Every structure is written in structure tokens, then in C-alpha cells.
Amino acid sequence: KDILEDKTVLKAKFEKLLKFERLESLTPHAWVVVRIDGRAFHKLSKQHNFEKPNDLRAIQLMNIAAATVMHWMPDIVISYGESDEYSFVFDRYGSRYPRSTSALVAQCVSLFTGAYVKNWRMCFGEDCRLKTLPVFDGRSIEYPTNTSLRDYLSWRQADCHINNLYNTAFWGLINLRGYSNVEADKKLSGTFSRDKRALLLEMGIEYDEEPTIHRKGSVIYRKRVKARTQNKLKAASAIVREARKDGRSA
């Protein structure tokens, strides 16, 4: 009963409980990457009839969510997104983000998910209500050298390329040639890049002319802007906000 009487007594009594909390701290001066990726997004994309192989509304929503994370986390210098994943790179000498691994991952995931749910309607419209909760996984990785960070980003972009080439061919076979999923998968199994490109050409698709955002993924970085330009931008976005309000109240 005594511990209910005074915050000081409470602290004294339960201070030992704090020792159970393991602190996983990030190494100073290392590049820190937080990578977020959707869980079971295959199911979510089916439930909401995402266009295949790429749904521009879904990509834009990912980009808006990522830009929101960058807005709240000033130490992120660059972000890279593809499919249902996004990587955030924190300034190796930055000091404005939590040094505990789980706090950093938690805050990024919380911001990303919140922005994703909040902006769903804007990207998918009134008719496509969000039927299920998107769930994102997260992890943090440390890169001690510039080379290893560059390798990481190349890796994710190569992953994007290979998946997108496959998906473009796969859905081409289904949408243009009437293949079933199983048939399309069988047709592509064991093929190399040049085979898939040739197959796409047969269907009238020149792969290198597909939209860059699908072939390369999305990159968000900060741009230094003069104060005067910044004020103009603020004014413009205020007008947009007003227009939106009018639209809603109409």
C-alpha cells in the first residue's frame, strides 16, 4: 500500500526493475539503415485489387509515408523504396535520433504505418476503403564504411530490378496472353534476363521504356532551398490545404 502513496517510494522500490531493460545502443559514427517491409502485403494487395505488376497509387502511398518519416526524422539523408519495403539512411554523424535500436525502429515503423493509414483515402479514393491493417516489420543495420552502405543500396536496387523484370513478364503473360498464374510461372522458370526481355518484346513491351519508377524504385533526398522559395512553398501548400477543406465541406 505504501508504494501507492508517493512517487519517490515507488521509484525506490521498482528501480531494480529497470535493470531488466536491455539497452541495445547503436555504434556512434556508423551509417545506420532502418529497413521497413510490409508483412503479408500479397494478401493486402489482393484484398484491395492492386493493379499488376505495379499499382501507382500504392507506390505513391509508400512514398508519402516515407516522406513523412523523413519530415519527423531530420537526420535521414536519403531513403530508397521498392515494392513493399523502404530503407532509411541516417547521417553517420547525426545526433537527433534515438541511440537505442528498438526506439529507432519503433518510431520509424510507427510514423510509417500511421502515415500509410492516414493517407490511404487520399491515394485510393473514397471507394476503396482500407479493409485490413497494414503491418510493417522493421530492423536496423549498421554500416561502418561508405563502401558497405553503397553496396547495400545497390543490392536493394538490383533486387527491385530483378523482381520488376520478372513481374512485368509474369503479368504480361497473364494479362496479354491469358496464361494462368501457374502457367506463367512455369514459362518463366529458368529463364535469364535476356529471355524475359525477348518475351516482353514479343508481347510488344520494350522493357527499358517502362516507367523509371517501376524499374528503379523511388529515391527521396533532401534539397537545400532558399528561405524565400521555402516561404512560397509554404504558401502554396496552405492553398492546397484550403482547397481540400472546401472539397470536403462541399
Give, as ranges, the residues between 95 and 114 that touch a copy of itself (CB under 8 A): 98-103, 105-107, 109-114
Q: Of 24, 51, 183, 242, which one interacts with a copy of itself (CB under 8 A)?
A: 24
User: According to CB under 8 A, which residues from 195 to 234 bind a copy of itself?
Assistant: none
Interface with a copy of itself, residue 141, by CB under 8 A? yes
Residues 6+ apart with CB under 8 A from 152: 33, 87, 141, 143
Rounded Cα distance between 50 and 64, Å, is 17
Nearer to a copy of itself, 43 or 232 (CB): 43
Give the shortest CB-228-to-a copy of itself separation in angstroms.
27
Exposure string for 33-47, b = 16+ CB within 10 A, e = fewer = bbbbebeebeebbee
Q: Considering only residues 115, 123, 169, 188, which one is a binding residue for a copy of itself as defined by CB under 8 A? A: 115
- What number of chain residues touch a copy of itself (CB under 8 A)? 72
| Distance (Å, whole) CA 125 – CA 133 | 17
Q: Which of 56, 67, 158, 225 binds a copy of itself (CB under 8 A)?
A: 158
Segment near a copy of itself (CB under 8 A); pick from 42-50, 132-140, 177-185, 220-228: 132-140
User: Rounded to whole angstroms, how far apart are CA atoms 143 and 161?
Assistant: 23
Residues 173-192 that bind a copy of itself (CB under 8 A): 192
CA angle 11, 13, 17 (to 5 degrees): 85
Residues 71 and 87: their CA atoms lie apart, in Å, by 15
